[in-house]
Amino acid sequence: MIEACGIEYRSILRGVDAQFAHRGVTGIVGPNGAGKTTLLKCLFGALTPTAGRVRIDAADLTTLSPRDLARRVAVVSQEPSFNDRLSVAELVSLGRLPHRDRRGRGEEEVATALEQLGLLELAHRQIARLSGGERQRAMIARALAQRPRYLLLDEPGNHLDIHHQLDLFHILREFDGGAVVVLHDLNHALDYCDVVYVLADGRVAAAGAPREVLVPEVLEPIYNVRVHRAGNHVTFTREEQL
């Protein structure tokens, strides 16, 4: 389990307590500026909380070596940095670096990740020659090749067409670990998440099963819209249109 214990970060996060299970998909939703990405960055050490702590499998995040952390957690960020002269296969193989002292070079893990993301035919293509969606799939494949206990993904559906978005969420549902996903699409949260945290103004406004949390009485004051729920589907109307 990844635990956020009273996390604060400047004026962005304000005493966030959250638990992210080692199995299943946990969504983090909320309006722009709510602190979603900041919280995610605190969970893997890209940002250091100004108060509170993060624990991963009961170990304080600050006590983990970079390699140990990378064996536990893989990240797909909104602003990845990579050498775009690499081929797709070379980029995905970087996910095996935390395991480089173990037997084998991880060819099987790399091939499996490429196949999962539909990238086998692009394996030898240079990253610079990919579309935005293809790059995003390559970054997700790298994270999967890492074989972590936890996947942390910041709006991973960005740049993906509908087909590949559905493929992605199927992969996350089948992932043998815990996935933490920052989302804007609340219907994806309803369809694919086991637990959802709703952030507003740097605090946890609600948390729990999607059908219990993503309801009009929670969402309307946060998003300033009228919310219409029908089963596992939600739509929105601007207040001035009512």
| Successive 10-residue mean pLDDT values, the chain, 242 residues | 97 96 97 96 96 96 95 90 87 90 72 95 93 93 96 93 94 96 94 97 96 93 88 77 48
Quote the pLDDT of residue 112. Answer: 95
- Find out whether 153 and 181 touch, Cβ atoms under 8 Å: yes
CA 132, distance to chain mean position in Å, is 18
Residues ≥6 apart with Cβ < 8 Å to 39:
4, 7, 13, 16, 18, 28, 199
Read off the amino acid at residue 234. Answer: V
Question: H-type helices in 106-234, by residue range?
Answer: 107-116, 132-145, 162-174, 186-192, 210-213, 216-223
Residue 191's nearest CA partner among 27, 22, 76 is 27
Distance from chain centroid for Cα 4: 15
The pLDDT of residue 103 is: 53
Question: Tokens in use for 145?
Answer: 């090749």
Res 242: pLDDT: 46
- Break the chain into its structural domains and give their ranges: 2-241
Assigned CATH topology for domain 2-241: Rossmann fold (3.40.50)
Which of 95, 132, 92 is CA-nearest to residue 114?
Answer: 92
Q: Is 65 helix (H, G, I), strand (E, B) or coil?
A: coil
User: Which tokens in the block code for residue 119?
Assistant: 């990238």
pLDDT, residue 107, reads 85
Q: Which residue has the tokens 């804007």?
A: 184
